[in-house]
Amino acid sequence: MSTVLIELRRARSEDAVALAETHDEAWSAAYRGIIPGPELEKLVQRRGPTWWDAAIRRGSRVILLNFGDEVAGYANYGRNRAKSLPYTGEVYELYLKPEYQGLGFGSRLFTTAKRDLIQSGQTSLVVWALSDNEPAMNFYRSLGGKPIARSTERFGSKVLDKVAFGWAR
């Protein structure tokens, strides 16, 4: 049993099952009613323990936030994938289980990922959010993110708008 109430650390292979469960709960809550049900289910199922274990083993930057002995959330980040945007880093994902949202844990995950990116020379960063996901949009605005680009993403027959938020150093 951990004596640390809140811990932020790099994910390890043995965290794969807990990360998959956290991803499942967080995505199901965040995107229910936004991404069509069958498409959402496919996206969630694709990210099982095997996927997380492989991502961690190949060196993906994944940090998790433990609350007591439970993985409450995670962030996955690295180099910016959108070469058309003049930002060096990107937070690919930042998710918390629903019961841990609104407690400041998301800000702690974001700050930790941002600090790690800066320490590795990626001094500006971008995050994409679906525009229909109001909690995410409000969260990134509250952290000082500025809308810098828009795009769309297809989920089955539904096309959804997404917004890139940027932070320059």
- In CATH terms, 6-123 corresponds, of 1.20.1440.130, 2.40.40.20, 3.40.630.30, 3.40.50.10490, to 3.40.630.30
The two beta strands, 70-79 and 146-155, are: unpaired
Measured between alpha carbons, how far is 156 from 136 in angstroms, rounded to an integer? 22
Which tokens in the block code for residue 109? 């995950």
pLDDT in tens, 71-87: 999 999 999 999 999 99
pLDDT in tens, 97-151: 999 999 999 999 999 999 999 999 999 999 999 999 999 999 999 999 999 999 9
Q: How confident is the model at residue 3 (pLDDT cuts 50, 70, 90)?
A: low
The pLDDT of residue 123 is 94
Measured from the Cβ of residue 147, the count of other Cβ atoms closer than 10 Å reads 14
Q: Is the pLDDT of residue 36 over 70?
A: yes
Q: Which pTM value belongs to this model?
A: 0.93
The pLDDT of residue 110 is 98
